[in-house]
Structure 1
C-alpha cells in the first residue's frame, strides 16, 4: 500500500544474544543477533519474522495499544475516585487494565503472524517455513 511505500524502513542488527526482533512505530526494525545465530534461521524464516514485525507497524498496533491503555486507565481512575476506593482500589483496577491490554496485544500478535506470513509470501518467500 502507499503508506508502506512512503515509510523509510530501516533494519538494524543488535549485537545481543536475545531471541527477539521488534519494530518501532515509523518502520525501524531490529533483529537481535541471537535470534539469527542460535536458531540458524533460513531466509524464508527471517522473511516471516520480518513480515510479522512490519505488520505491527502497518497496522499501528503500538499506537492502538497506547490509546486503549490511556482510555482504560482514565476510566479506572474515575471509577476508583467515584467509588472512594483509594490507592488499593486504583492498584487493583490498574492490574485489571493491564490484563485487558495483554488481551489486545495477543490479538495484535495473531494478526501480525497472519499478515506477516502473507507479506513474506508476496515477496516470494515460502509461507510454510
Structure 2
C-alpha cells in the first residue's frame, strides 16, 4: 500500500497514484469537507472508482477518529440512555450508486484491492 497525504487526510492507495488520481482524490475530499456537490470526470481507465473509494473512505476513517459520538461512554461502549435520546446518525453515511449491477460488481472488485474492504 502507498500512503498519500491529501488535504490533511492519509489516503492508502494500492499503488503509487498518478497525478490525475491525486487531483481526483483532492477534489473528492474537498467536496466532502465543504459539504458541496461535485461533478468530477476523468477519461476511462484513469482510476476514478479506486480514487473515489480510497479518498472517501479515508476521509470517513479520519472523521470517525476525531468525532467521537456523544452516545459512547469513556470505554467506547454505547450508552443506551444516550442512544435512545440521540436522533441523529453516529457518523456520515457514504452511499455509492450505479446504474447497473455489473458496474456495482466492478466497484466491489476495486474495493477489494484496497485495505478499506
Question: What TM-score do the two structures reach when normalised by structure 1?
Answer: 0.29
Question: What TM-score do the two structures reach when normalised by structure 2?
Answer: 0.31
By percentage of residues, which structure has more helix? 1
